[in-house]
Each structure stands twice: as structure tokens, then as C-alpha cells.
């Protein structure tokens, strides 16, 4: 009998690749929850007809979610909710906080009262740590959220940790650093640059950018979803970081992308100071020793290969 899996945020980058990976296992029946009606990512992966998609409306959210959870899922993954750091400063409160915190609270309460406990993995973000000034970040390091998005992620992270410690239930967090794919929203910097470089023909074609003096640990989303699955199947219920362990300056990535067309990126970038955020994280560095040691997993795809994969992909 197929085990039932519930994925929040099924239509996003992470949810789509996670569903695709689970479907290939041929051991699971996949249910997905999405705040958006757009399922183009699932269609691109040719799996939309292999998933039972469930819709939740704002007015009946709590009631319907509690009803859905009674289907008794073997595993629950939460990679949903409002996901833009920038947008989180301007959207109404419920868009960021309620899309993250409310469903997590309902899930935790449901699992606490279950006889046979579902396993629950929440997708947190490296944004919860803030700016660590060249320090390699570990799972238990001090948190310093610098945006409403990061604060919402941290609230859910801590709530999950509290429920695990208080009630001994199988719920845990994965802290994901930046990760890219052909399904990445075009607002995010790597995808924005890949799309732009494909269109550039003349020097006068400019790409408007905010702060390029940042460094990030960039990974490959499909590979990270395999890591999340391995965490879900592990015996230890602990919080883990998923990253490559290699931090690269954005300027170096710009050079990689523009070299594809033998162009000098400095001639094509214009600065949009309206997009600058005073609280923007300048750099982050991940310590991935815990997942390497305890789960025996390490990502292989690094930023140079990511750039090539994105530029040559049929979706883009």
C-alpha cells in the first residue's frame, strides 16, 4: 500500500522537485497544498496529473486544513508560505506571518494528538541567522532575523523545536541556504541574470541590480530535495543545515554568467538604489559538518555547474 505524503507549497520550486523525486520512488501517494492556482512548475515536470492538489481558501483555512490532516499522512513537508524577503516588508501581515506560522501551529497540534505520529519536516531559511560576519554558521548558532520573512521563519522554527522537546513528537527543521533551479522565480538574482544574459545584444541593454556586494552559498534545488528526503528517512529527529559549504561573491557569479557570451558584466549592469535594503545580509557561510557526519550526505553541484545548467536548460 502506498504511503500518503503531504507537501505544503507543492507548486513552488521546492515542492515541485520534492514531489517529482518522491513520485519516482513509486512508494508514495502525493497530496499537495498550494496558495496559488498556478501549477506551471508541476506541468513542466510532467507530474501535475500524478498529484492530488488540495486548495485552501483564507476564509476556511483552519477548518479545511484540520480536515485534510485527518487523512493521516505518513510524512508532511512544509515548503510553503510567502517566500520573498523583499515583499515581506510591504505585504499585509497575514501574507507572511500567517502563511508560515498558522499552518505550522495547526500541524503540530494535530501530530501531538495523533496515536500514530506523522513525521513533519519544516523548511526554514538561512535568513533566520542574519549577518554573521564571516562566521561558519551552525544549526544552534544565535538567530538574528532582519526581515519579516526571516522572523516568520524563525517563529515556526522555534515552535517546532519547542513541541519536539516538550512532547517528544517527530518534528524537525531543515535550514536551507540559497538554492537555484530552472523553476526558480525570476525575481531571484541568479535567475534574473540568466534570463537577462540570454536577451542581451548590445551595450545599451542594461540589467538593473540592487546590491551586488554580497556573497552567498548557492546550491542546486533538485539535489537539496534529495537531501531533505534523506533527512526525513533518518532515525534522528534533529535540525539540520543544507548548503554546499562554499560561499561565493555575487560579482564572481556575474563574471561566470557573462563569460558565457564573452562579455564584461561591468558594461551591462546599472544600479537601482531603490532596491537596496539597509538590512540586507552581506554574506553567509554554512557549516555542513552535521549533515555530512550524521546523515552521510553532501551536495555535489556547485555554482559554476549551476550557472551552466540554468543557461542550457529547456525551461528557460
220-235 pLDDT, tens digit per residue, is 999 999 999 999 999 9
Cα separation, 195 vs 78, in Å, equals 29
Question: Can you list the positions of beta strands (E) in the chain?
Answer: 3-8, 28-34, 51-55, 75-78, 119-125, 136-137, 171-176, 179-180, 207-209, 215-216, 219-220, 240-242, 248-249, 269-271, 285-286
Q: What is the pLDDT of residue 82?
A: 64
List the domain boundaries for the chain: 3-179+221-246+286-294, 184-215+247-284+302-312
Cell reading at 217 = 552559498
pTM to 2 decimals? 0.94
Distance between CA 172 and CA 159 in Å, rounded?
Answer: 10
pLDDT tens, residue by residue, 129-180: 998 877 899 999 999 998 889 999 999 999 999 999 999 999 999 999 999 9
Convert the pLDDT of each residue in 262-275 to its tens digit.
Answer: 999 999 998 876 66
- CATH class in words for 184-215+247-284+302-312: alpha beta
Work out the pLDDT band at 93, boundaries 50, 70, 90: low
CATH superfamily to which 3-179+221-246+286-294 belongs:
NAD(P)-binding Rossmann-like Domain (3.40.50.720)
The single-letter DSSP state of residue 277 is: -
Q: Is the dihedral of CA 69, 72, 73, 76 positive or negative?
A: positive
Q: 61 or 9: which carries more pLDDT confidence? A: 9
Residue 103 has pLDDT above 80, yes or no: yes
Task: State pLDDT tens for residues 11-64.
Answer: 999 999 999 999 999 999 999 998 777 899 999 999 999 999 998 877 778 889
Q: 159 with 101: CB under 8 angstroms? A: yes
Amino acid at each position: 500500500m502506498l504511503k500518503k505524503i503531504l507537501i505544503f507549497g507543492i507548486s513552488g520550486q521546492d515542492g515541485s522537485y520534492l514531489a517529482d523525486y518522491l513520485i519516482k520512488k513509486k512508494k508514495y501517494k502525493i497530496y499537495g497544498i498550494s496558495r496559488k492556482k498556478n501549477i506551471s512548475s508541476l506541468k513542466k515536470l510532467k507530474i501535475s496529473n500524478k498529484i492530488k492538489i488540495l486548495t485552501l481558501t483564507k476564509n476556511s483555512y483552519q477548518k479545511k486544513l484540520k480536515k485534510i490532516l485527518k487523512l493521516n499522512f505518513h510524512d508532511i513537508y512544509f515548503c510553503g508560505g510567502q517566500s520573498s524577503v523583499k515583499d515581506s516588508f510591504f505585504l499585509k501581515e497575514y501574507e507572511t506571518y500567517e502563511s508560515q506560522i498558522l499552518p505550522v501551529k495547526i500541524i503540530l497540534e494535530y501530530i501531538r494528538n495523533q496515536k500514530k505520529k506523522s513525521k513533519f519536516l519544516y523548511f526554514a531559511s538561512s535568513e533566520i541567522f542574519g549577518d554573521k560576519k564571516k562566521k561558519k554558521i551552525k544549526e544552534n548558532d544565535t538567530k538574528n532575523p532582519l526581515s519579516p520573512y526571516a522572523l516568520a521563519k524563525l517563529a515556526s522554527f522555534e515552535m517546532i523545536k519547542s513541541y519536539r522537546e516538550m512532547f517528544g513528537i517527530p518534528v524537525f527543521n531543515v535550514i536551507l541556504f540559497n538554492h537555484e533551479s530552472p523553476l526558480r522565480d525570476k525575481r531571484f538574482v541568479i535567475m534574473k541574470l540568466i534570463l537577462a544574459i540570454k536577451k542581451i545584444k548590445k551595450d545599451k541593454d542594461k540589467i538593473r541590480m540592487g546590491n551586488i556586494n554580497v556573497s552567498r552559498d548557492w546550491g542546486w534545488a533538485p539535489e537539496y530535495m534529495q537531501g531533505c528526503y534523506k533527512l526525513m528517512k533518518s532515525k534522528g529527529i534533529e535540525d539540520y543545515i543544507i548548503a554546499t559549504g562554499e560561499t561565493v561573491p555575487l560579482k564572481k557569479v556575474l563574471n561566470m554568467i557573462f563569460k558565457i557570451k564573452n562579455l564584461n558584466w561591468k558594461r551591462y549592469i546599472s544600479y537601482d538604489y531603490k532596491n537596496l535594503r539597509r538590512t540586507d545580509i552581506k554574506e553567509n557561510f554554512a557549516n555542513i559538518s552535521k549533515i555530512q557526519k550524521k546523515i552521510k550526505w553532501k551536495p555535489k553541484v556547485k555554482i559554476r555547474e549551476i550557472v551552466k545548467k540554468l543557461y542550457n536548460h529547456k525551461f528557460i
